């Protein structure tokens, strides 16, 4: 539900931007008519101004369709039974959460899938729960674009090399090097549970790494896109001044206005993606990246 809600608020932000563009285009149309009446502009310029205005209004209406669908999703998931349930528009004008450079892998132990896999392994062998809990990799996720041990060296070359040896190596870990008389069935159950646990942990780590990587890339895109919006706004301001002075035709204003609108909407989409990506990261970590939430 969180992602749908954030996407809906992102559309509210886009609609707010388009409303500001409609106000600007309405003023431009008024100016175009005045210049036409004064013999400066042509009738074609007036029609171009009308076209841009109505096209932008159409974009606002189109946003309303998707927003209504997302609102219905939010209401259904939240199980709201209020007649004519609706959420008033509220643009996503919030500060993005600060994502840390690296997060400790212990946070993921809160994930239900990891906890379940660990208990299944413990059920397969009375001692395996101790072994697996003690062996859970202590690494910094996302610190340098990969899995890195907090004790030096890479995880792939370190602890996971023991995992790759399969159940035989784990048995030595469990028994401290002493052989134990497992039945064939117990060995099979042990190996299956241990391999499942390893797979669940690997998958969880990959999800976190992917989410951290995506957020860093989106942050870089956001910086570049903000610069593009600023440049587009300056270009439009200059073009409007030149148009009012009769230096350029309305076609130049139209080009500048379109560039601004598209770049503004791209930026709004990027900001929405960063919010939804942060929610995905919180879920992948099992509930946020606050180290005070580390399991004890």
Q: Are residues 55 and 19 in the same domain?
A: yes
The domain in which residue 148 lies consists of 103-205
Give residue 105's Cα distance to chain centre: 20
* Of 94, 129, 161, the domain-final residue: 94
Evaluate whether residue 114 is within a structural domain: yes
Q: Are 215 and 281 in contact (CB under 8 A)?
A: yes
Arithmetic mean of pLDDT, 77-95:
74
Q: Are residues 5 and 52 in the same domain?
A: yes
Domain tally, the chain: 2
Supply the pLDDT for residue 193.
Answer: 83
Q: Are residues 90 and 108 in the same domain?
A: no
- What is the rounded CA–CA span in Å between residue 156 and residue 154? 5
Task: Please provide the DSSP assignment of the chain as one string.
Answer: -HHHHHHHHHHHHHHHHHHHHHHHHHHHHHHHHHHHHTTSS-HHHHHHHHHHHHHHHHHHHHHHHHHHHHHHHHHHHTT---TT----------PPPPPPS-EEGGGGGGSHHHHHHHHHHHHH-TTHHHHHHHHS--EEETSSSS-EETTSSBTTTTHHHHHTT-HHHHHHHHHTT------HHHHHHHHHHHHHHHHHHHHHHHHHHHHHHHHHHHHHHHHHHHHHHHHHHHHHHHHHHHHHTTSS-HHHHHHHHHHHHHHHHHHHHHHHHHHHHHHHHHHHHTS-S-GGG---
Q: What confidence category does residue 81 fall into, taking pLDDT thresholds of 50, 70 and 90?
A: low
Evaluate whether residue 73 is within a structural domain: yes
pLDDT at 151 over 90: no
* Of 65, 94, 123, the domain-final residue: 94
pLDDT at 148 over 50: no
Q: What confidence category does residue 106 fall into, taking pLDDT thresholds of 50, 70 and 90?
A: confident
Beta bridge partners of 29: none
* Of 205, 223, 238, the domain-final residue: 205
At 116, list the tokens.
């379940």
Q: Are residues 28 and 76 in the same domain?
A: yes
Beta bridge partners of 154: 148
- How do residues 237-273 score in pLDDT, each as one tens digit? 999 999 888 899 889 999 999 999 999 999 999 999 9
Q: Which residue has the tokens 């609102």?
A: 71
């Amino acid at each position: 539900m969180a992602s749908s809600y954030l996407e809906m608020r992102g559309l509210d932000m886009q609609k707010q931007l388009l409303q500001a563009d409609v106000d600007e285009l309405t003023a431009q149309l008024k100016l175009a008519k005045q210049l036409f009446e004064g013999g400066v502009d042509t009738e074609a310029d007036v029609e171009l101004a009308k076209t841009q205005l109505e096209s932008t209004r159409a974009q606002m209406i189109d946003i309303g369709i998707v927003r209504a669908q997302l609102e219905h999703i939010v209401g259904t998931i939240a199980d709201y039974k209020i007649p004519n349930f609706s959420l008033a528009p509220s643009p996503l004008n919030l500060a993005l959460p600060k994502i840390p450079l690296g997060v400790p892998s212990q946070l993921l132990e809160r994930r239900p899938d990891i906890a379940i896999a660990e208990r299944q392994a413990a059920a397969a062998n009375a001692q395996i729960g101790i072994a697996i809990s003690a062996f859970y990799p202590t690494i910094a996720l996302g610190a340098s674009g990969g899995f890195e041990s907090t004790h030096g060296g890479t995880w792939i070359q370190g602890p996971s090399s023991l995992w790759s040896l399969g159940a035989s190596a784990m048995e030595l870990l469990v028994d401290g090097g002493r052989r134990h008389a497992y039945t064939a069935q117990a060995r099979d159950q042990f190996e299956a549970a241990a391999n499942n646990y390893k797979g669940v942990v690997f998958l969880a780590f990959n999800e976190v790494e992917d989410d951290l990587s995506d957020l860093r890339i989106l942050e870089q895109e956001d910086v570049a896109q903000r610069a593009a919006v600023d440049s587009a706004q300056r270009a439009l301001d200059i073009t409007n001044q030149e148009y009012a002075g009769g230096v350029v035709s309305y076609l130049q204003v139209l080009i500048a206005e379109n560039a601004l609108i598209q770049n503004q909407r791209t930026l709004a989409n990027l900001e929405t993606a960063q919010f939804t990506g942060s929610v995905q990261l919180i879920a992948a970590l099992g509930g946020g990246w606050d180290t005070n939430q580390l399991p004890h």
